[in-house]
Amino acid sequence: MRGEPAGAPGEGRPEAGKEMMRKGLSGERRWLLPVGVAVVLVSVLLASSLRGQAGGARAGGPEARRAIPVVGATAALGDLGVYQSGLGTVTPVKTVTVRSRVDGQLVSVAYREGQLVREGDLLAQIDPRPFEVQLHQAEGQLAKDEAALANAKVDLERYRVLIKENSVSAQQLDTQAATVDQIEAAIKSDRAQVESAKLNLTYSRITAPISGIVGLRLVDPGNIVHASDQNGLLVITQQQPITVIFTIAADQLPAVLQQRRKGHDLVVEAWDRDFKRELATGSLLAIDNQIDLSTGTIRMRALFPNQDSALYPNQFVNTRLLVETLHGVVLVPTAAIQRSPQSTYVYVVKPDSTVEMRTVEVQMTEGDTSALRSGISAGDVVVVDGVDKLQPGTPVTLAKANGTRQQGS
């Protein structure tokens, strides 16, 4: 028998190899078929879902009509003041450095530092004894000369009688008359010395020349003070009333002058540095007589009663001068006004809770409030917050002032 060569089964038999390859390919096809079917089904489902969403959006479904929450405010008729602002310094109406008018020892003070004193109140006492002595001397000299005058007048009357009897000469009569005149002149000088001594005695008692707040003491009791001292004894500053000197731009001066010519008293408000708290309210007192060329501003002075001492000398404040008041204008929050290269506009909430864009004309803006000439009417609701998400026709949910929300119908 002829033996077969050793090797793998089917080796050397082309028909057997082809059969095995056909069987392997058939197995791979059986594995790929279910996977392909699954991929086709998933693709069909995704496409159907996307078409459904697109169709819902085109039909105005809930996703397309979702309302945007915004904060609104109602336009109203009202008055708006036109103010001119400036930086000011609180300046006392009167500031007095109290000095001694006589020389002497300061024996006592009758005030406390920072005390409110009234005009005429005793402040300090200088040793009065030297002035009392001067007064006594002057009074004594006056009494002596008055006695001499009385004797001289008696002699003059006697000479007038004797001249008629030719007992004395006319020269003696004239000399006696001159003596009387000299003594009378001396008495006038004596009386002036008495008054001077009394005045010095009065000056030794130092009183307040004005009403105001006493500053820190400059001289302590026991020191010798002189009328020539430059620093003085103390400083009194009047604080009620008090003034504020402030500046405004020179371009704003004509409007102020126009109101002054009409006889109107212009209101001035004083605010703190941050413009957050109003300190006092006063009135315009005076306008400087020239414009500062270096700054282009003009100085003004306002008077404040300052009963609560809210203003203090040399304090820096912000001032607002009320030039005029716009009456019966449409007022909206400044935050509602939007600007584009083409126009100034606001978003108005319509009754159907959608918004429309309206072009407006701003007449005046003061702080957080603006007055409009045209574009909207009183009662219209304008969007204040959430404008960046809006377009004409966008549905909105309006937030009320109390924090609640109202869904538009």
Tell me the per-residue pLDDT of 248-257, one tens digit each, with 9 for 90 and over.
Answer: 999 999 999 9
Q: Is residue 7 a part of any domain in this protein? A: no
CATH of the domain at 231: 2.40.50.100
Q: What three-state secondary structure class fits 394?
A: coil
How high is the pLDDT of residue 6?
45
Same-domain check for residues 196 and 102: yes
Say if residues 149 and 184 touch (Cβ distance below 8 Å).
yes
Number of domains in the chain: 3
Among the candidates 301, 325, 349, a domain finishes at 325
Verify that 212 and 197 share a domain, yes or no: yes
Interatomic CA distance for residues 191 and 184, integer angstroms: 11
CA distance 398 to 348: 11
Is 357 contained in some domain? yes
Question: Is 129 part of a structural domain of the chain?
Answer: yes
Q: Higher confidence at residue 50 or residue 255? A: 255
* Residue 55, pLDDT above cutoff 60: no
> 263 with 375, same domain?
no
Instruction: Establish if 408 belongs to a structural domain.
Output: no
Residue 52 has pLDDT above 80, yes or no: no
224 and 253 part of one domain = no
298 lies in the same domain as 244: yes
Per-residue pLDDT, 2: 42
> How large is the average pLDDT for residues 328-335?
92
**Cα–Cα dist 51/230, whole Å:** 98
Strand-strand pairing, 316-333 and 369-374: antiparallel
End-of-domain residue from the set 181, 211, 236: 236
Q: What is the pLDDT of residue 336?
A: 92
Mean pLDDT value of segment 94-118? 95
Question: Which of 236, 259, 281 represents a domain boundary (last residue)?
Answer: 236
Residue given tokens 């040399």 in the structure block: 314
Q: Please, what is the average pLDDT of the chain?
A: 85
Smallest CA-to-CA distance from 365 within 145, 80, 26 is with 80
Is residue 216 located within the same domain as residue 99?
A: yes
249 belongs to a structural domain? yes
345 DSSP assignment? E
- 320 and 331 inside one domain: no
The verdict on 368 and 314 lying in the same domain is: no
Write the pLDDT tens digit of every residue in 119-160: 999 999 999 999 999 999 999 999 999 999 999 999 999 989
CB 82 within 8 A of CB 325: yes
Report how far residue 133's alpha carbon sits from residue 335's, in angstroms, rounded to the nearest whole number: 80
Domain residues for the domain of 108 are 95-236
Average pLDDT over residues 200-213: 95
H-run or E-run covering 361: strand 361-366
Task: Write out pLDDT tens, residues 272-312.
Answer: 998 899 999 999 999 999 999 999 999 999 999 999 999 99
Q: Is the residue at 206 inside a domain?
A: yes
Could you give the percent of the chain with pLDDT greater than 90?
64
Q: Are residues 135 and 231 both part of a single domain?
A: yes
Q: What is the amino acid identity at position 140?
A: G
Cα(20)–Cα(205) distance, integer angstroms: 139
State how far the Cα of 316 lies from the Cα of 158, in Å rounded to an integer: 81
CATH of the domain at 339: 2.40.420.20
Which amino acid appears at position 17 of this protein? G
Q: How far apart are CA 52 and CA 46, in angstroms?
A: 10
Regarding whether 229 and 131 lie in a shared domain, the answer is yes
The model's pLDDT over 84-103, given as tens digits with 9 standing for 90+, comes to 999 999 999 999 999 999 99
At 310, which CATH number? 2.40.30.170
Please state, in angstroms and rounded to a whole number, the distance separating the CA atoms of residues 298 and 300. Answer: 7
Tell me the residue length of the chain. 409
- Asked if the model's pLDDT at residue 41 lies above 90, the reply is no
Q: Let me know if residue 59 belongs to a domain.
A: no
The reply to whether 104 and 229 lie within a common domain is yes
Side chain identity at 229, as an amino acid letter? D
Please check whether residues 190 and 246 belong to one and the same domain: no
pLDDT at 5 over 90: no
**pLDDT for res 316:** 95
* More confident: 229 or 7: 229
Residue 119 within a domain? yes
The rounded radius of gyration (Å) of the Cα atoms in the chain is 52
The counts of H helices and E strands in the chain are 4, 23
pLDDT at 190 over 90: yes
Q: Supply the pTM of this predicted model.
A: 0.65
Long-range CB contacts (within 8 A, 24+) of 146-153: 146/187, 146/190, 148/183, 149/180, 149/183, 149/184, 149/187, 152/176, 152/179, 152/180, 152/183, 153/180
